[in-house]
Homo-oligomer: A and B are copies of this chain.
Amino acid sequence: MEMIKPRTLSGFMELLPDKQLRFDRMADVIRRAYASYGFTPLDTPAIEDAQILLAKGGGDTEKQIYRFQKGDSDLALRFDLTVPLAKYVALHYSELAFPFRRFQISKVYRGERAQRGRFREFYQADIDVIGDGKLDILNEAEIPAVIYKVFSGFGLRRFQIHVNNRKILNGFYAMLGLTEKSGDIMRTVDKLDKIGPDKVRALLLDDCGLLDAQADEILAFISIRGSNAQVINALESYAGRNETFDTGLNELKVVTSNLTAFGMPEENFTVDLTIARGLDYYTGTVYETLLLDHPELGSVCSGGRYDNLAGYYIDKPLPGVGISIGLTRLFYVLDEQGLLNPAIPAAPADALVLPMTQDMGAAIALAEELRSAGLRVQLYSEQKKFKQKMAYANKLGVPFAVLLGEDEIAQGKCSVKEMASGEQRLLNPAEAAGWIGQTLRRAGDLPMILEK
């Protein structure tokens, strides 16, 4: 047989079993959190009509998209989950109840330049709430609460959701007579964390052509820091000069004041006047999420309020608010940095039943009994020596091996060995399930992700 060397395409994540299990568990935390807030799961096709996906057009998207012909059809792989959502809502408009709340955790495709840590196929985990004509501001307070539930579900505590409002920024720049330059200014201000205030000031003067006084005003504005109450207090001093600003400030107050009601600890969110996000899309509240010990990652979860989801497909104003977790990249970096908690077992089974007799009947029955107790159980059915069986258990990384020989069968018991400690106990099946289950529940309470 002529052979071909197997390989996986670069930019495509393919995980070994233990890593895949850890990845799936993170996805499960997201799924459960999203579902607990009444978001409905969607699973739109990965392939869409290319004309529809590219209705908005735009440089990078066109270049990166995977687009191809099949028969007469001009097809493309989705490059995000927002455009398919827009199509879905427009197409099924009359069948949906609004506000329409959906989550989708799916792969998207971008043919970017290959680069370490950059993926061409990656998961996004999105939630969006879409209103029909109107959408209450309270939804903008709920979104960070959902994200808080996700990240605390990962076992993290040192993360912070940054909240801003585009109307505050737009209103502020309008006060300074800088509305037309606001895009350039926001892009410059966005570099503050990386290059510091002096260089930002220089760029504002040289590249954006601002006056000294204007640059000073901007730097003073974006340096507003402190508790959420302090920041809002400072913003009050600008009130009454621009209607958009005032609207934005009111929205921000509603959002921050309700976050606590939604169960979000104050230390996990902060008003941050430097964030702006996608300049031509978001219109109100915007979010970024930072891991406090890993600011180098940038935002791991971002989104905001927009005024019109599906203007390319339907003649109805559909305002919404949404947020997206870039799961593949987040997982990749956490793994790279050794932050996936190794104390949580990631074997395919909780217990491996090792029969020590020729007849497998008792072992099959024992495995079934342990499964009925809710455990994931593999029966080892190969004819191998004891040493090889234990080597397999070790390589698989199962937390427990359950040995069943003549003696155990005669007593109606089994020998349960905890692989990590080497401790072995002679137990009946119910006791075995109890010990294994209890040990695993304890491990399940550990944080999935370490902070160090």
- List residues of chain A with CB under 8 Å of any chain B CB: 1-9, 12-17, 20-21, 23-24, 35-49, 51-52, 55, 66-71, 73, 75, 86-88, 90-92, 95-97, 99, 101-102, 107, 109, 111, 120-121, 131, 134-136, 138-139, 142, 258, 261-263, 310-315, 347-349, 352, 360-361, 364-365, 368, 371, 375-379, 381-383, 392, 395-396
Contact = CB atoms under 8 A, between A and B. Distances in A.
A47 B262 contact: no
6 closest A-B pairs by beta carbon, nearest first, are A38-B378, A68-B68, A40-B348, A38-B349, A138-B381, A97-B395
Given A4-B52, A20-B43, A377 B14 contact: no
Given A70-B111, A381-B139, A95 B16 contact: yes
B8 A45 contact: yes
Nearest to A311: B1
25 contacts: A3-B313, A3-B314, A3-B315, A6-B86, A9-B48, A9-B75, A14-B44, A15-B42, A20-B43, A23-B43, A38-B349, A39-B348, A46-B121, A47-B66, A47-B121, A66-B75, A71-B111, A97-B396, A101-B348, A101-B378, A138-B379, A142-B381, A258-B360, A261-B361, A262-B368
Given A47-B109, A75-B9, A92-B16, A21 B41 contact: yes
Q: How many copies does the complex hold?
A: 2
Contacts of A101: 348, 378
A439 to B, nearest CB: 17
Given A37-B376, A47-B66, A138-B381, 16 more contacts: A3-B315, A4-B52, A5-B313, A6-B90, A7-B87, A14-B44, A20-B40, A24-B43, A37-B371, A38-B352, A38-B377, A39-B348, A47-B109, A66-B70, A131-B382, A258-B361
A357 to B, nearest CB: 13
Give the one of A17, A46, A262 with max B CB within 10 A: A17
Contacts of A75: 9, 66
A168 to B, nearest CB: 22
Given A66-B68, A136-B383, A14 B131 contact: no
A261 B365 contact: yes
Contacts of A263: 368
Contacts of A7: 49, 52, 87, 91
A391 to B, nearest CB: 9
Given A12-B47, A261-B365, A377-B37, A20 B4 contact: no
Nearest to A92: B16
